Structure 1
Amino acid sequence: EKLQGLMKTYGKGLRDIISILDPNPGKSSAAAVSAPKQRRARVVKVYQNPHTGELIETKGGNHRGLKAWKEQYGAATVDSWLRG
Structure 2
Amino acid sequence: MSKLTAFREAERELKAQLEKLDALRNDQELKREIEFEEKLRALLGEYNLSLPQVITILDPEAGRRRSSEASNQTQPKRKARALKRYVNPNTNEVIETKGGNHKELKQWKAEHGADVVESWLQK
Interval of TM-score (by shorter of Structure 1 and Structure 2): 0.5 to 0.7
Say what the alpha-carbon RMSD is for the aligned residues: 3.1
Offset from partner CA, 1:17-44 (integer Å, 9 cap, x none): x5xxxxxxx7xx8566422111111110
**More RCO (CA 8 Å, sep 6+):** 1
Q: How many residues align?
A: 68
- In the alignment, the residues of structure 1 paired with residue 122 and residue 79 of structure 2 have an alpha-carbon distance, to the nearest angstrom, of 21
Task: Report % sequence identity.
Answer: 47
List gaps (5 residues or longer) in structure 1.
Answer: 1-6, 19-25
List gaps (5 residues or longer) in structure 2.
Answer: 1-34, 45-50, 52-61
Offset, 1:78:
0.2
Letter in 1 for 2:107: A
Structure 1 runs of 4+ aligned residues shifted over 6 Å read: none
**Structure with larger Rg:** 2
Task: State the TM-score, normalizing by the size of structure 1.
Answer: 0.64
